[in-house]
Amino acid sequence: MNNRAELIKVWKERPISWSQLGSWAYSKQQWIDKYIFGLNEEPNLAMLFGNTVGDTLGTPNSMVPSLEKHLVGLKEYELKTTLNGMTLIGYADHYCPCTKVLNENKTSENKNRWNQTLVDLHGQL
């Protein structure tokens, strides 16, 4: 970016995601490093594990075969809308257009970290 006006223009046109909002709330400096300067932190082991589990869902190599019967439809379904002139974007882990059911999958080292109520109240969806 050559100047501040160009940077502002790019950000006004870019959709805002839940991840961006969460990152901003967690650490403004980390957000600036990632979204302005393009400096990504190395993922930790928990993040890598969650990505691995997510990547296997819906495949013959699923790490959670008992979950597969609930994951009907489209994986990583894009949800996009405009609110007050700002584009918001998100991705449901799975969406079934026939039943209109969204699924959000969570992983954790702590088996008590996530349950259906906590996912429902999380705010991401």
| Rounded CA separation 77/7 (Å) | 29
| Rounded CA separation 88/21 (Å) | 11
Q: What is the pLDDT along the chain (125 residues), one digit of tens a residue?
A: 568 888 878 887 888 888 889 999 999 999 999 988 889 889 999 889 999 999 998 888 999 998 888 888 899 999 999 998 888 898 888 899 999 988 888 888 888 898 889 988 888 77
The three-class DSSP label of residue 103 is strand
Q: Which residues contact 56 (CB under 8 A, 6 or more apart)?
A: 62, 63, 64
The three-class DSSP label of residue 22 is helix
Total of domains in the chain: 1
Helix (H) or strand (E) holding 26, with range, is helix 18-26
The three-class DSSP label of residue 50 is helix
Q: Using an 8 Å Cβ cutoff, are 71 and 57 in contact?
A: yes
Range of the domain at 15: 4-121
Model pTM score: 0.71
The residues with which 96 forms a beta bridge, in sequence order, are 101
